[in-house]
Amino acid sequence: MNIFVCVSQVPDTATRIKPAADGKSIDRTDVNYILNPYDEIAVEQALRVKEAAGGEVCVISAGDDSVLNTIRKALAMGADKAVHLKTDADFDGFAAARAVAAYLKTANADLIFTGKESVDSNSGQFSTFLAALLGINVVNIVVKLEISGTQVKAEREIEGGKELVETTLPAVISCQKGLNEPRLPTLKGIMASKTKKPEEIAFSGGPSSTVITELSKPPAKPAGKIVGSDVTAVPALVELLHNEAKVI
Amino acid sequence: MSSLLIFAEHRNGKIKKSSFEAISAGASLAGSLGLTPHVVLTGDASVSALTAEAAGYGVSSVLTVTDSRLGTYANRAFATAVTAVAKAKSASVILFSATAMGKELGAYTAVHLEASFASDCTSVSAVGGSLKVIRPVYTGKALSSVDLLQPVKVLTLRPNAFPAIPAPAAAETEEIPVSFTEADFGCRVTDVVSSSGKLDVAEAEIVVSGGRSLGSAENFKLLEDLADVLGGAVGASRAAVDSGYRPHEDQVGQTGKVISPKLYIACGISGAIQHLAGMSSSKVIVAINKDKEAPIFQIADYGIVADLFEIVPALTAELKKQSN
Ligand SMILES: Cc1cc2nc3c(=O)[nH]c(=O)nc-3n(C[C@H](O)[C@H](O)[C@H](O)COP(=O)(O)OP(=O)(O)OC[C@H]3O[C@@H](n4cnc5c(N)ncnc54)[C@H](O)[C@@H]3O)c2cc1C
Ligand SMILES: Nc1ncnc2c1ncn2[C@@H]1O[C@H](COP(=O)(O)O)[C@@H](O)[C@H]1O
């Protein structure tokens, strides 16, 4: 089985986001980048499929040199090799998907894993872009996956329930929390990752179809009211929700 | 003249409320941009029963794509259908609700039409004849304004961020013929399992959430009772989910759902940055926590500093008393 995992890096989830001086991006000073939490699940699933069905797991990431850290984490978890689509330019999700699709077109991929979404852009679009560009199937937001031969049975999360989906390989699978518990890299894995040098391929970064014109903090909320500190506050709270906030 | 399409998602024979929100938003946007709006309905022959309600939110033209094979959801076929309608009507703007279905159809359609795509928008407006969209990023820790550079623009709109405005009108329907290939049905839904018919946290107008401090799955009954009197859903912090008190689908936050209900009641939730990321855009936030220093109070509109095991049942009782 020829398995790929697309990974992106995101600011550590505890980061307080500050807009940078350009007003369009974030201030990257003191920001620690990590492997997108959903991509950890994607790497784990790729490793499990390989362990069950044999084959090879290749991680792929488009971005500047800073993504090498993220790639290394995936290698340390146990991926066999990596591809870095390298660019110093700004790019949008469409451009990234095009670059990854161009690489995968010649790579004979059976199975491509992605995260459900990047917790920085919150787009959740990449997996479907990729499948549409490659003309293959996609199952998004997957919480359960069974593969036998080329047959795929998946459960995906939808509002208020789950959809059971059947499809065939080659396919893109976007992974949601609940699918598995990602393993931690072992010391051996970390040592081994140091010897696996990612293949570097130049990526122009374009063309993008969207551009961020402004990045701002959400408007600060005015200080709230402490209504009370015991049950006697309850009628007052109900009154405020009725007549002041008008939400009930 | 070019047009604006709004995809109407239906499940169990009903159009989703979030699609009505998208239709109302589309109606007003079409007016400002000078585009002709149409609602798009795809499915088997039974969708003809939905055209009247589809036309009830400000857009009377309803375009249908019907095929017996569209009775169950097949993502590629549905995307092919919307793409075909977009081409037939020279659509320049296509709206979906940002649901599991809408997000993937939007992305597919954008590739088919070489369009620009922006997902989960919370504000869409026409400024000087061009489209301006705002979407939260970094899980709500920042807002980004996005320019869509391609002539065709595909957007998904966050549920509960736009009002659904009823405007009853008779539907003018038109069937758009679409031919499908076998590959379009390469991925098919074989069954839908609903979580015991409960309301999804992402779709509810009122959410009552609990944290680690609830202490057990059974204690969440207190929050369910409160949610029931309010007609809302129950959410949870990651600590509550990781402790096994609630399923992951109820988790609110950076690695859970990002929601904007009208009212969010946080019970025994500290307000970690990853939790705030999921709910800080709620219209009104109530916090019940016994620690007055808990960060949740910094974003709460109303707070009660006390034991949730005393406050929550009292609140349920008070609301019940008033509704009688
Ligand atoms: C990568 C990553 C992703 C994450 N994603 C999410 C996410 O999506 N969603 C999320 O919620 N968290 C997320 N977290 C976890 C987050 O950092 C917090 O650990 C979590 O939100 C804490 O949950 P809590 O408020 O229930 O528990 P705690 O922080 O333990 O808070 C419990 C609160 O209950 C109060 N309390 C205790 N007893 C009572 C009582 N009887 N009455 C009233 N109040 C009481 C306490 O004062 C305290 O404030 C993530 C963390 C990481 C690292
Ligand atoms: N630059 C990138 N390189 C490789 N994979 C990516 C990149 N950006 C996003 N992805 C993948 O697409 C998923 C969804 O990202 P997004 O559509 O940006 O929310 C991520 O979880 C990754 O698996």
Q: Which residues sit with their C-beta closer than 6 Å to ligand 2?
A: A 6-8, 36, 38-39, 42, 60-63, 93, 96, 100, 114-115, 117-118, 121, 123-127
Task: Give a yes or no: residue A223 inside a domain.
Answer: no
Q: Is B187 on the interface with A (CB under 8 A)?
A: yes
- In this predicted structure, the answer to whether residue B196 has a pLDDT above a threshold of 70 is no
> Is residue A13 predicted with pLDDT exceeding 80?
yes
Q: Measured between CB atoms, does B286 come within 8 Å of chain A? A: yes
Write a three-state SS string for B194-254: ECCCCCCCCCCCEEEEECHHHCCCCCHHHHHHHHHHHCCEEEECHHHHHCCCCCHHHEECC
In this complex, do A119 and B107 lie within 8 Å of one another by their Cβ atoms?
no
Structural domains counted in chain A: 1
CATH 3.30.2180.10 holds for B206-323: no
Interchain CB contacts (distance < 8 Å): A and B:
251
Nearest to B284 among A13, A233, A247 (CB): A247
Beta carbons of A211 and B117 less than 8 Å apart = no
Residues of A in contact with B274 (CB under 8 A): 13-14
- Which of A13, A35, A5 has its CA nearest to residue A109? A5
What pLDDT sits at residue B122?
A: 95
Is position A235 within any domain? no
Write the pLDDT tens digit of every residue in B4-48.
Answer: 999 999 998 999 999 999 999 999 999 999 999 999 999 999 999
Interchain contact, A234 vs B262, CB within 8 Å: no
Q: Which domain holds residue A161?
A: 2-202
- Over pLDDT 70: what percentage of chain B? 99
- The ipTM, to two decimals, is 0.92
pLDDT in tens, B230-248: 999 999 999 999 999 999 9
Tens-digit pLDDT profile for residues B266-277: 999 999 999 999
> Per residue in A106-158, pLDDT tens?
999 999 999 999 999 999 999 999 999 999 999 999 999 999 999 999 999 99
How far is the centre of ligand 2, averaged over its atoms, from the C-alpha of A118 (Å)?
A: 6
Q: Is the pLDDT of residue B197 over 70?
A: no
The Cα of B177 is separated from the nearest Cα of chain A by a number of Å equal to 22
Report the pLDDT value the prediction gives residue B323, as an integer from 0 to 100.
82
B42-75: b (≥16 Cβ within 10 Å) or e: bbeeebbebbebbbbbbbbbbbbbbbeebeebbb
Per-residue pLDDT band at A223 (split at 50, 70, 90): confident
| B75 interaction partners in chain A (CB closer than 8 Å) | 138
Question: Quick one: B3-185 is in which CATH superfamily?
Answer: HUPs (3.40.50.620)
B187 vs A166: CB contact, 8 Å cut-off?
yes
d(CA A220, nearest CA chain B) in Å: 9
Are A59 and A67 in contact, with CB atoms under 8 Å apart? no
Q: Reply yes or no on whether the pLDDT at A174 is more than 80.
A: yes
| Residue found by looking up tokens 């609630």 in the block | B246
Evaluate if pTM is beyond 0.95: no
Give the residue on B whose Cα is nearest the Cα of A27. B142
User: At residue A19, does pLDDT exceed 90?
Assistant: yes
Domain CATH for A14: 3.40.50.620
Tell me the pLDDT tens digit for each residue of B86-145: 999 999 999 999 999 999 999 999 999 999 999 999 999 998 888 999 999 998 889 999
Find the B272 Cα to ligand 1 centroid distance in Å.
Answer: 6
Q: From residue A179, how far is each of A44, A48, A143, A193, A234 by CA, in Å?
A: 9, 11, 4, 25, 41
**A238 occurs within a structural domain:** no
- A124 assigned to some structural domain: yes
What average pLDDT does chain A have? 95
**Has residue A58 got a pLDDT over 70?**
yes
Q: Delimit the domains of chain B by residue range.
A: 3-185, 206-323
**Atom 38 of ligand 1 has which residue's CA nearest to it?**
B213
